[in-house]
């Protein structure tokens, strides 16, 4: 089972200079990271999305690659919202779980999630 990059590409503005990155610990994303592959073998992690106002209309996918039960938490930058809820973070833990977020200026809207229960 793999990551369907075509879901991210539909309507997304993703320049060639932006990239797939691999994370093994908590991180705050930069403006050039679009597909985040999370290996949670060493433990749980938090991925903080960049300021939404700087990335209107852009998408970021967060994907779990490891088979352990450690949690990946996706958080918004302070002051941004993370929807469809208005506060709080999103968390998932199974291998091949992923979510796609799109910036709407005031925050990040979760446009797709796949959880392997």
Helix, strand and coil content of the chain, in percent to the nearest 5, comes to 5, 40, 55
Q: Rounded distance, CA 100 to CA 60, Å?
A: 6
Name the one residue in this structure whose structure tokens are 């469809």.
Answer: 84
* Per-residue pLDDT, 75: 94
Give the count of domains, the chain.
1
* Per-residue pLDDT, 7: 46
Domain assignment of residue 20, given as a range: 5-114
Using DSSP's 3-state secondary structure scheme, residue 7 falls into: helix
Number of alpha carbons in the 13 Å side-chain half-sphere of residue 15 = 6
Question: What's the whole-model pTM score?
Answer: 0.81
Write the CATH number for 16. 2.60.120.640
Q: What is the pLDDT along the chain (117 residues), one digit of tens a residue?
A: 344 444 444 455 555 555 899 999 999 998 789 999 999 999 999 999 999 999 999 999 999 999 999 999 999 999 999 987 655 688 888 888 999 999 999 999 998 888 776
* Per-residue pLDDT, 18: 59
Q: Rounded distance, CA 109 to CA 92, Å?
A: 16
* Per-residue pLDDT, 6: 44
């Amino acid at each position: 089972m793999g990551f369907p990059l075509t879901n991210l590409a539909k309507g997304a503005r993703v320049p060639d200079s932006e990239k797939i990155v691999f994370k093994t610990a908590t991180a705050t994303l930069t403006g050039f990271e679009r597909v985040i592959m999370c290996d949670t073998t060493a433990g749980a992690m938090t991925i903080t999305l960049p300021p939404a106002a700087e990335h209107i209309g852009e998408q970021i996918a967060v994907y779990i690659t490891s088979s352990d039960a450690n949690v990946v938490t996706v958080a918004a930058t302070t002051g941004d919202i993370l929807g469809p809820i208005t506060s709080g973070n999103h968390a998932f833990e199974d291998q091949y779980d992923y979510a796609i977020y799109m910036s709407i200026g005031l925050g990040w809207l979760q446009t797709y999630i796949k959880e392997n229960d």
